[in-house]
Structure 1
Amino acid sequence: MPSDPTPIDEDVDPARPLRADAARNRERIVAAASELFATRGLGVGLNEVAHHAGLGVGTVYRRFPDKRSLIGAALAGPLREMTEVAEQARRAPRAWDGLMMLIERGAELLTRNLGLRDAALSSDETRHDLDEHLHPFSDISCTLMERAREEGDLRPGATEDDLGMILWMVTELAAHAMDTRPDAYRRYLRILTDGLRNAPDRGPLEPALSPTEVRAIAQHWAAH
C-alpha cells in the first residue's frame, strides 16, 4: 500500500456512481494496465501502472484496492474473447476441427497478450480469481476432446493437460521470437497438434502427467 495517507474520496463506495473525473481516472488506469500486462505480463507493479497512466499511485489504490482487482478489470475484454472463441469452436460440426480452432485461436490470443497468458496458464491465486471466466474455455476443450476421441480423431492417451503444455511451449517460443519472427510459433503449434491426431501407425504415448505434476511444472515455469 502507498505510504501517503489516502484522502477521503466520496467515490470509493462501489454502489455509488463515479464522478466524471474519477471515472476518467479509472479508465486511464485500466487502459494503462491493459497495455502493460499485454506487453510485459502480470509481473508489472501498481507503481508502474500509475506512472504509465500519468497518475499517482494513491489514485490507483483508491480505484483498485489490490492488484488482483485491477487484473480482473484489465483482462475482462481478452477473457470475453477467449469465451467467444470457445463457443465458436464448440459449434464446429466435427470435434477435431473445433479443437484445432480452439487451440490455434487460443494460442493467438495468448501470444498477443502476455498477461492473459500468465492468467490462463498459471496455477496461482490469479488463475483462481479468474476461474469463472476461464471455465468455458476449459470445459469446452474437454467436451471437444471427448467428442474427438469418440469420433476416432484424437490420439489415444491425449489429455486436456497436454493442451495446456502445448500452449505453454508455443507461447514461450512466441515471447522469445517476437522481435525476430512473430509468427514462428505457428509452425511448432502445427507440429505439436499433429501429434494429437490419431493415426494407424502411432505408437502409445508415454504416461500422462498427473495434476500435481502439471501444477508443479506450471509454477516453476511461471517463476522463470
Structure 2
Amino acid sequence: METPAGQPPLRRDAELNRQRLLAAAHEVFRDRGLSATLEDVARHAGVGIGTAYRRFANRDALIDALFEDMIAKVAAMAVEAAEDPDAWRGLSTSLERVCELQTFDRGLRDIMLGTGRGRRRQELVAERIKPTVDAMIQRAKDQGVLRTDVEGWDLPMIQLMVATITDHTGHPDLWRRYLHLMLDGMRIGGADGTTLPVALFPDGQPPSETLSLPQG
C-alpha cells in the first residue's frame, strides 16, 4: 500500500514493521474475526505493542489499512476479468476468485458487513469496483451469455451466500458447487453440459446437522 498523499515515506525498518503487522492482522482477523485486539496482532507479528501503535493509532486504523489492501486486490481482479475477450469467462472467473478470497476470511466478511464504518466501506467498494463490474455484466449481456435481468448488486449477494457455506458446513471447498449452480442459473443456456465441482461429502450425503433448519 502506498504512503498517503502529503505524508513522507516511512523508513525501511518502519515500513517492514508496518507490512509485518498487516500480514499478521490478516491472519489473526481471518481466523478470529474482528474481536481480536491490536495487542493480539502485535504478538502474532512478533513486534512490541509500542511499535504497533506507532504504525497504527488504533485497531480501526489497522482495519482501514487492511480494507484498502483488500479493495486494491479485488479491483485488480475485476480489471483483469474485464479485459478477457470472453465475457462469460471473465465474469464467472472474477466472481469465483473473489468468493475464494472471502470464503475463508472471517475478518474480510466482518470488515465488509460490520457496524460503524461498514456503510462507508461499502460505498468505497461501489466507487472503486462497481463501474468495472457493471461493464462486465453489460458486456456479457451484449454477447448473449448472461440473463438480461441480472444486476450488478446480484454479485455481492451471491458472494455473501456462498461465504456462509463454509461457516455452516465446515467443508472448505463445498461453496464451489453452489456457486456453479448459481452461475448456471445466470447463464443463458444454463449448465450446457458442465459438471458441478466437488461432491457433496465423502459418502455422498451431508451430515444431519447441515440440513437442520432453525425452529421458529
Report the TM-score when normalising by structure 2. Answer: 0.69
2:197 matched residue in structure 1:
none
Q: Which has the higher contact order (CA 8 A, sep 6+)?
A: 1
What amino acid is aligned across from residue 55 of structure 2 in structure 1?
R
Query: 1:154 aligns to what SS in structure 2?
Result: coil
1:15 matched residue in structure 2:
8
What amino acid is aligned across from residue 184 of structure 2 in structure 1?
D
Which of the residues 37, 41, 52 maps onto 2:44? 52
Greater shift in the superposed pair: 128-137 or 98-107: 128-137
Query: 2:129 aligns to what SS in structure 1?
Result: helix
Structure 1: distance between partners of 2:93 and 2:134: 14
1:46 positional shift = 1.7
2:110 matched residue in structure 1:
118
1:173 matched residue in structure 2:
165
Which of the residues 176, 186, 189 maps onto 1:186? 176
When residues 133 and 163 of structure 1 are mapped into structure 2, their CA distance, relative to the original with a 3 A threshold, is closer
Confirm or deny: 8 A CA contact 1:120 1:134 kept in the other structure.
no
Structure 1: distance between partners of 2:59 and 2:38: 7
What amino acid is aligned across from residue 193 of structure 1 in structure 2?
L
Which of the residues 137, 141, 152 maps onto 2:129? 137
Q: In the TM superposition, what whole-angstrom CA distance separates every residue of 1:117-169 from its partner, at most 9, and x where no partner exists?
A: 33456685146258556644322211111222233322233222221111101
When residues 163 and 24 of structure 1 are mapped into structure 2, their CA distance, relative to the original with a 3 A threshold, is closer
Q: Does 1:147 align with 2:124?
A: no
What amino acid is aligned across from residue 172 of structure 2 in structure 1?
P
Q: In the TM superposition, what whole-angstrom CA distance separates every residue of 1:159-207 from its partner, at most 9, and x where no partner exists?
A: 22221111101011123344xx21100000011121112359xxxxxxx
1:101 positional shift = 1.4
Greater shift in the superposed pair: 48-57 or 115-124: 115-124
When residues 99 and 25 of structure 1 are mapped into structure 2, their CA distance, relative to the original with a 3 A threshold, is closer
Greater shift in the superposed pair: 39-48 or 157-166: 39-48
What amino acid is aligned across from residue 142 of structure 2 in structure 1?
E
Structure 2 gaps of 5+ residues are: 1-6, 191-216
- Report the identity percentage: 37
Which of the residues 59, 84, 93 maps onto 1:67? 59
Confirm or deny: 8 A CA contact 2:63 2:111 kept in the other structure.
no
Structure 2: distance between partners of 1:106 and 1:157: 22
Report the TM-score when normalising by structure 1. Answer: 0.67
Structure 2: distance between partners of 1:89 and 1:71: 27
2:86 matched residue in structure 1:
94
Confirm or deny: 8 A CA contact 2:112 2:121 kept in the other structure.
no
Confirm or deny: 8 A CA contact 1:79 1:134 kept in the other structure.
no
Structure 2: distance between partners of 1:36 and 1:176: 20
